[in-house]
Copies of this chain bind each other. A is one copy, B any other.
Amino acid sequence: MSDFRSDNTHGASAEIIEAIARVAGGTVASYGSDPITARLRERCRELFATDLDILPVFSGTAGNALAIAAMTPPWGGVFCHDEAHIHRDEEGAPEFFTHGAKLFPLPSRDGRLTPEQVARKIDEIALEGRTAKPACVSLTNATEAGTIYRASEVRAIADVAHSRGCRVHVDGARFANAVVSSGESVADLTWRAGVDILVFGATKNGAMAAELLVIFDRSLTEELTIRWHRGGHRLSKMRFLSAQLDAYLADDLWLRNARHANAMAARLADGLRAKGVELLRPVEANVVFARLPRVPEGATLYEWALYGEHVYRLVTGFSTTAEEVDAFLARL
């Protein structure tokens, strides 16, 4: 069986399970005052080479919606890609957490926003005056189209945002894949490029259920902590969430998992190209869009009508094997 449905159909890395097991005994302070969470914060400060705050959450939807709500008043405007998960896949979570902000979905072929496009739309809305108050620019890196933003691209968009009074959110559900693909540092891809909050995903890349709000603009933390609690996203036994994230960052597990997933996607893409299959988007992370004559027996994957007829999305994960890829290609 070759399962390319999503990276969230995969299980969890052994290191993550072991970390959970290791912290399961004894009593510790609840709600985030435990030593594991403290260690995680230190690890993040080192990794990102800056002071920052963290709030662990269980789901990416929660992380994104909380981050956006921290930046956006109920009458605010959020500028994002038309295929953004926050717009397409969250049943309106950003609208819920912001109490009614307006998303402005912007189209592009490769899932990336351009600075010009963002500037033009913000300026249009600001000129209208009564549509919404521009408040937040939201990027997904790696994008929903399987491409990535490089640090310079993030920087260019963040400059546009900040110069117009907006803050910058990055949906990093596949941030590890973008880091590996770009070869750039997490600092360069985030706060040095002007990102205010990163939602650093771990679930899709080997954790059970763990995402991390990495807050670079620390003026947002106090209110965000209330929203986090009020939204039901502050775990009492926080250690079980922090331990996943701590193990994820320790010994470069996150990089190893992402490198593997990206390599499997590249292998898949190479194989498809070799067979003359049309790939609809550049393959820069762990997602491949291909026009397939038919789905080979023994494979599971999703059709992607948004990109045209007979188009499928193939996602590789940390536990995808080369055998799965090759078997898929062989049976095509």
Contacts and interface: CB of A to CB of B under 8 A. Distances in A.
Nearest to A305: B127
Nearest to A239: B11
Given A75-B91, A237-B12, A305-B127, A99 B102 contact: no
Interface size class of A (residues with CB under 8 A): 35 or more
Contact of A62 (B3, B100, B233): B233
A217 B27 CA distance: 37
A93 B11 contact: no
A45 interface: no
Nearest to A89: B130
Contacts of A103: 102
A27 B133 CA distance: 30
A239 B10 CA distance: 10
A21 to B, nearest CB: 5
A230 B27 contact: no
Given A9-B29, A10-B27, A91 B230 contact: yes
A38 interface: no
A99 to B, nearest CB: 4
A20 to B, nearest CB: 6
Interface in A139-196: none
B11 A61 contact: no
A75 B226 contact: yes
Contacts of A24: 11-12, 14, 16-17, 208
A234 interface: yes
A127 to B, nearest CB: 7
A226 B95 contact: no
Interface in A8-33: 8-12, 14, 16-17, 20-21, 23-31
Given A3-B27, A28-B9, A93 B231 contact: yes
Given A90-B229, A130-B229, A232-B61, A11 B25 contact: yes
A107 interface: no
Contacts of A60: 236
A307 interface: no
A305 to B, nearest CB: 7
A101 B95 contact: yes
A114 interface: no
A103 B87 CA distance: 11
B93 A95 contact: no
Contact of A232 (B26, B62, B102): B62
A56 B234 CA distance: 16
B11 A237 contact: yes
Given A12-B237, A95-B95, 5 more contacts: A14-B24, A58-B58, A59-B236, A74-B92, A209-B237
20 contacts: A6-B30, A9-B29, A20-B208, A21-B21, A27-B317, A58-B209, A74-B230, A75-B227, A75-B230, A89-B131, A90-B130, A91-B131, A91-B229, A91-B230, A92-B101, A100-B100, A102-B103, A127-B305, A208-B237, A209-B235
Q: Which 3 residue pairs across A and B have the least CB separation, nearest first?
A: A62-B232, A95-B100, A8-B236
